[in-house]
Structure 1
Amino acid sequence: MRDYKLATGVVDGAEQPLLLLDGAVYTLGEVLGAHAPASLLDVFRDWARFDGLIAQATPAGPGRDPATVEYRTPIAMPPKVICVGTNYRDHLAEMKVTTLPVFPYSFMRPYTSLAAHGEAIHLPQLPKMVDWEAELGIVIGTSVGPGSGVDPADAIAGYTVINDVSARDWIQSRPHVGIDWVMQKAWDRFQPTGPWITPARCVADPQNLAIELRVNDVTKQKSNTSSMIFGAIDIVRHLSSIMTLEPGDLIATGTPAGVGFGRTPPESIRPGDRITVTIEGLGQLENTFV
């Protein structure tokens, strides 16, 4: 079966699922014909069948240059967006967290927080300490939940690139009840994602991928997913013991050290900043903040 990547973008004026094959971009319609699904969510809802069909298909024509495509968020309205925090030991240290978590520490985010590769992200007026976080993303392809009997590893359809943007203002002034995750994480367009989703079978080891974030070409984060406290499968196992994970669900897995808030003096995203997240084998996500 051939390796490929999936995205969503605008071709001929229409938003549609895209395929990256041998360095060229095709629409799924050009590869699968009239019966191609209308969205990537539809692809992941029948993942086993479509993965086989796409991997064996032979596209007609030369395809497109990936640099010429206007991308959209890969899955516009996933059933759930779940984020895991404090999942790299070095990031815990820079955030002055002294106790290792005994399970993946997670929260949920609205899909309105998603943004596309290449999209200009408008900084909201209220928070003044907006930060970056490079993260590996998981895409679910098979429902898995309490008592389902599904192996968590089999539920993972693919991996993607995420920038988990955070408003840090409410960490310093948090009340005793804890951090207001909505005020920190739920702002519109605060989770750029993509542009590509790489099938899990095309990723030899998700726990051995170089991950890097640059701000205006200056490296701020440089690590490897081998430094995660809880790996991708452990995260899916934990979350699926609580709730049913569904096809198309998106999970962010935490960030390594190098965030702006942990620096001396602290740094934050400013208008005009261009932030690039690269994960080995998965691609590059870039956004300018305005």
Structure 2
Amino acid sequence: MKFIRFGLPGQERPGLIDPLGGLRDLSAHVRDIDGALLADAAVLAALRALDPFSLPPVSPDVRLGSPLAGVGNFYAIGLNFRDHAQEANLPIPREPVVFMKATSCICGPDDPFLCPPGAQKLDWEAELGVVIGRRAKRVSPTEARACIAGYCTVLDGSERDFQMNRGGLWIKGKSYESFGPLGPWLVTADEVPNPQALAIRLEVNGERMQDGNTAEMIFDVATLVSHLSEFMTLLPGDVIATGTPAGVGLGQKPPRFLRPGDEVTLEVEGLGRQRHCVVVDRAER
């Protein structure tokens, strides 16, 4: 299944994508797409049994929000592609580099990408997102596969000056509002037979900047879930951004960063495309 959530920010309703690519309304059957739903095998089975064409259609022009509500923890993995570590002039990690993104940075797949006041080094990272569907505590890589509910496209937005020069942890440069778009779809794990064979691409103003494949990950998806579960208990609805291939702005020669008016498009194979316009954040606090 390909789950979506649609509607105005804060008013999203649950839905899915039918076999012909149409949007369908699921709100008569479930309250929302969240960790509780993903952990309920009976409800998921009932949804799979539905005729998607019997569901009310949704206008293709509707806004899509994050396909997952109520994310508990938003984990991310740094330097998980050799070519990205090399372009950053950093050693290949001996074990996964883990950091957090605040869940308040999550937004929809076509929402504006906000430029924070004072930002000078706004950067992009296209990534495969893993969504947890079952409690995972000290699981092996083999056991980890059964704990994955599905996958989504993630844009790991960064402000490199905040990240590197403002003291403390990377979370400062990774968590501004809009720095974590998810979607457009949450694709259930049964529709992604091999998460280690997915193309990842990103363009800025139509110019291809990133062109990689999850086959190039240093630590694969199952290893990442297992590793994280050694240090914290993963819960249904948690999200893991699994790292980005080479081609980020910081790695350009000279470095290149986003400016207001730029357009960023990205996709992970089979998981849908995102499109974001960079705008100055003028919203009141």
- Please name the residue that 1:158 is paired with: 150
Runs of 5+ unmatched residues, structure 2: 280-285
Aligned pairs for 1:193-208 within 5 A: 193-208=182-197
Deviation, 1:7, is 1.3
What's 1:271 paired with? Answer: 260
Task: Tell me, yes or no, if the aligned pair for 2:102 and 2:171 is still in contact at 8 Å.
Answer: no
1:272 Cα offset (Å): 1.0
Percent of aligned positions with the same letter in both sequences?
Answer: 37
8 Å contact from structure 1 (residues 157, 199) kept in 2: yes
Task: Classify 1:78/1:150 alpha carbon distance in 2 versus 1 (closer, same or farther; 3 Å).
Answer: farther
Counterpart of 1:43, as a letter, is: L
Measure the CA separation in 1 of the matches of 2:246 and 2:93.
16
Separation in structure 1 between the aligned mates of residue 111 and residue 219 of structure 2, nearest angstrom: 31
Match of 2:272 among 279, 283, 290: 283
Q: Alignment length, in residue pairs?
A: 276
Letter in 2 for 1:27: D
CA offsets per residue over residues 47-79 of structure 1, 9 Å max, x none? Answer: x223322222113157235x3121112224311
2:249 to 254, 260, 264: 260
Q: Which runs of structure 2 are paired with 1:167-186 in the superposition (5 Å)?
A: 167-170=159-162, 173=165, 180-186=169-175
Q: Shift of the alpha carbon at 1:195?
A: 1.4
SS in structure 2 opposite 1:211?
strand
1:95 is aligned to 2:92: no
Cα deviation 1:223-270 (Å, max 9, x = unaligned): 110000011111000001111100000100000000010001110011
Residue 117 (str. 1) matches residue 106 (str. 2): no
What is aligned with 2:282? none
Q: CA deviation at 1:115?
A: 1.4
Q: Which residue of 1 aligns with 2:25?
A: 27
- Distance of 1:171 and 1:70 partners within structure 2: 30
Deviates more, 1:128-137 or 1:21-30: 21-30
Normalization by structure 1: what TM-score? Answer: 0.89
Partner secondary structure for residue 253 of structure 2: coil
Q: Relative to structure 1, is the Cα distance of residues 219 and 240 closer, same or farther in structure 2, using a 3 angstrom cutoff?
A: same
Match of 1:44 in 2: 38
RMSD: 2.2
2:36 maps to a residue whose letter is: D
Q: TM-score, normalised by structure 2?
A: 0.90
CA deviations on 1:144-177 (whole Å, 9 max, x unpaired) are 11379991100000000011011111566477xx
Q: Deviations over 1:82-104 (max 9, x none)?
A: 0000000000010001x221211
Equivalent residue number for residue 56 of structure 1: 49
Aligned to 1:130: 122
Q: In terms of mean alpha carbon deviation, does 279-288 or 84-93 score higher?
A: 279-288
| Equivalent residue number for residue 72 of structure 2 | 79
